[in-house]
Structure 1
Amino acid sequence: MPLDRIAELLELSEAEAVWGYEQVAPPEVQESLGMASQRIGGGVVLSVRNDVTNYWSKALGFGFAEPVTAELIAEITAFYRDQGTKLATLQLAPAVLPVDWDAICKAEGLTPGGTWVKLARLAGLVESPRTDMRVGIAGSADAEEWWSVLLQGFGMAELGLDRMAAGLLERPGWTAYGAWDGDQMVAAAALLITGQVAEFVGAATLPSHRGKGAQSALLAARARQAAAEGVKWLSAETGKPAKGEQNPSLNNMLRTGFEIRYERQSWTWRP
């Protein structure tokens, strides 16, 4: 399978994951956060105008249904202007960037942001590491606690996002996982299966329980489900660590057999 085809599978599975997170918010939450979304050019464009984390307004999944052009990027930035978005992130695989990308960035005011690492591996069983925690599927009754743990793990708690993903656990293709220390959920993660790809969507552990094997166990549990459901690829992404620093999430995934497919520069837009 050519690299560009693999990149397409990875990018579109991530785009559907982000779309899913933001489509399940109750109407009153969408209104309070100023949420809006649109599918453009085969990708997704999402705006959360009142998100103080500056994380959830992003556009991704472009360059496969149609090429990335100046007109496409102008349409994306026009959407953000119309929504009153204060900051947005465009994420495009390096293989889809056109030869005139520098000129497009200058015209639209795009500046380099952080770098993400895209990882993938063929589906298969993963040895479950030793941990004293109970790891399993989080059901509907666990929905609020699951989302709360995820937000706390990412440092996004108490920022008006508490009900954003209230209905995610009932959405087709999604499975939520948790790790429990006794009766307390201390780590959370999710899996989205779309076609040939199982997207490992977000994973976080409360600061009090890091370094105890929860994330490695959650990786193994999701890999087992993906293998059982017959998907071909496992897909994940995480931030590239700064020189001299470590990203535990990246290290866990590499130990689990994921391989780095490419690095993806993010592009920041401001009005």
Structure 2
Amino acid sequence: MTGDGGPLFCGIELGARIERVETELIATASAATQARLGEAAGFALPIAGGIASFAEDDSPLNKVAGLGFAGVPDTDEFEELERQFAARKSAVQVELANLADPVIGELLTERGYRLVNFENVLGLALDGTPEVIEPDGVRVRPSADSEFDVWLDIAVEGFAHPDAEGVPSHEEFPRDILDRAMRDITAASGVQRYVAVHEGQVAGSASLRISQGVAQLTGAATLPAHRRHGIQSALLSTRLGIAAAAGCDIAVITTQPGSKSQQNAQRRGFSLLYTRAILVKG
């Protein structure tokens, strides 16, 4: 991995590390949902280095992630996870990196999976001290436990209203499901919470997860009344500084292709590392 002031290159080794970190996030959050609802409510099956997760009905945690970097699943493994999803009347959604073993894509196609969308993974090398951006009247700080609900409301609102630009997402989630999923993600997966305060009011929220030297930027949102004051830039630069100080060598963010989020990340120096194909079997 090298940036050298230019676009960051992502080989298979780096892609595998990022996908392992993503698998960790899904596995720990799904386990938190099971602890909340009881083990009968869902499952998390390891499969070829990845994870097949069902948390609860309509959850964004219902997916297969991380495949393609630790062998090829056999037919029995595919059949078992498909049975588990079918028993819960849920489609199977696989997020497959284009750096993964191509044989897996071929096997999924043979099993009737359909390509429905893509998402992009972008990265920034943290090989120095990132510039901290502090617009006038804006302060970023860790979110206190006492204001968790405020942080969560802003985060869920941002997730529920994605970019209008670029390729539209194929997914929509009920707000109460998003609320519970975000609670489970932050409770169990080591996510750090931050808020941006503008003119004395909490105006934005963001999150960060660190694992294996990878800083996952797991979401950021700004309340409409406080937009165009540099809050997103402040939240991003603060998290990058914290990640660099913690010893991370790369920060990653996931966006819809052609979205405003992707444009903003690339303006900040992020490079497109790889794309995940979203394949679904009903």
TM-score (norm 2): 0.79
Counterpart amino acid of residue 189 in structure 1? A
Alpha-carbon distance in 2 for matches of 1:157, 1:9: 31
The equivalent of 1:112 in structure 2 is 115
State whether structure 2 residue 214 is matched by structure 1 residue 214: no
The equivalent of 1:141 in structure 2 is 146
The equivalent of 1:249 in structure 2 is 261
Counterpart amino acid of residue 81 in structure 2? I
Deviation for aligned residue 1:77: 2.1
User: What value does the CA root-mean-square deviation take over the aligned residues?
Assistant: 2.8
Alpha-carbon distance in 1 for matches of 2:29, 2:219: 10
Deviation for aligned residue 1:86: 2.3
Q: From 270, 277, 280, give the equivalent of 1:258.
A: 270
Query: Could you list the runs of 5+ residues in structure 1 that have no partner in the other structure?
Result: 242-246
The equivalent of 1:150 in structure 2 is 155
The equivalent of 2:24 in structure 1 is 16
* Distance 1:101-1:166 versus aligned 2 partners, 3 A rule: closer
Deviation for aligned residue 1:200: 1.2
The equivalent of 1:76 in structure 2 is 81
The equivalent of 1:36 in structure 2 is 43
Aligned length: 260
Counterpart amino acid of residue 96 in structure 1? A
Alpha-carbon distance in 2 for matches of 1:100, 1:153: 33
CA contact (8 A) 1:143 1:166 kept: no
Alpha-carbon distance in 1 for matches of 2:95, 2:224: 28
Deviation for aligned residue 1:164: 3.5
The equivalent of 1:92 in structure 2 is 96
Q: Deviations over 1:105-161 (max 9, x none)?
A: 232x31112211111121143323325332111132222222221111122674344
Helix, strand or coil at the partner of 2:183: coil
Deviation for aligned residue 1:206: 2.9
Counterpart amino acid of residue 180 in structure 1? V
Q: From 219, 238, 241, give the equivalent of 1:224.
A: 241
Helix, strand or coil at the partner of 1:199: strand
Matches within 5 A, 1:54-69: 55-69=60-74
Q: From 98, 101, 122, give the equivalent of 2:105.
A: 101
Counterpart amino acid of residue 265 in structure 1? A
The equivalent of 2:124 in structure 1 is 121
Alpha-carbon distance in 2 for matches of 1:66, 1:100: 9
Deviation for aligned residue 1:183: 4.8
TM-score (norm 1): 0.82
The equivalent of 1:244 in structure 2 is none
* Distance 1:64-1:160 versus aligned 2 partners, 3 A rule: closer
Helix, strand or coil at the partner of 1:37: strand
